[in-house]
Amino acid sequence: MWAEADDLQTPVVATAPWGYLRLRRTEYDDAAVSGWLSVVGLGPGSPDALTPEAAAATKVLAANQGLYNGFLAAGLFWGIWLGEAGDPIKAFFLLCVAVAGVFGSHGVSIRTMEQEGLGDEARLIFITHTAREADMQATLRGLRDLDVVDRVVSLVRVVS
């Protein structure tokens, strides 16, 4: 199996009009990032290229994605390890995946999430990174459509 890692290279072959690229090295310098952006058509001069400002703004989000995925995986493995007693834990972590999927599908990035209360009385409070109003409204509609969400109570917009 080929994987781009510190000691392996994967050939780039287009097999569909869309793609998924996962970079696996432990570190990338600016030249390597530029090289990959060019490979996927987002290099300098591309109309879809990230501006330096957008790249800087999303750097922390990208770095946190691996931590977030690890957290979800650990929670699910913990629930599985506990067997039937872990069902509430698995349900919570799967809920997190579903909710994060709704946010992500509308381009809204979660900055923090806090839970208050337990069980049927639990409330989840999300703080997001800056987002467009239309994207937030689409996210709220998507959350309301989830079977596991009882209600979406309010949206407070803070503009600084």
> What does the pLDDT look like over 76-91, one tens digit per residue?
899 999 999 999 888 8
Please determine, for residue 14, whether its predicted confidence score (pLDDT) is greater than 90: no
CB neighbour list of residue 132: distance below 8 Å, 6 or more residues apart? 107
Tokens matching residue 62 = 């990208």
In 28-109 the beta strands, taken as DSSP E runs, fall at none
Please determine, for residue 2, whether its predicted confidence score (pLDDT) is greater than 60: no
**Do the Cβ atoms of 59 and 30 come closer than 8 Å?**
no
> What does the pLDDT look like over 129-151, one tens digit per residue?
888 889 899 999 999 999 888 88
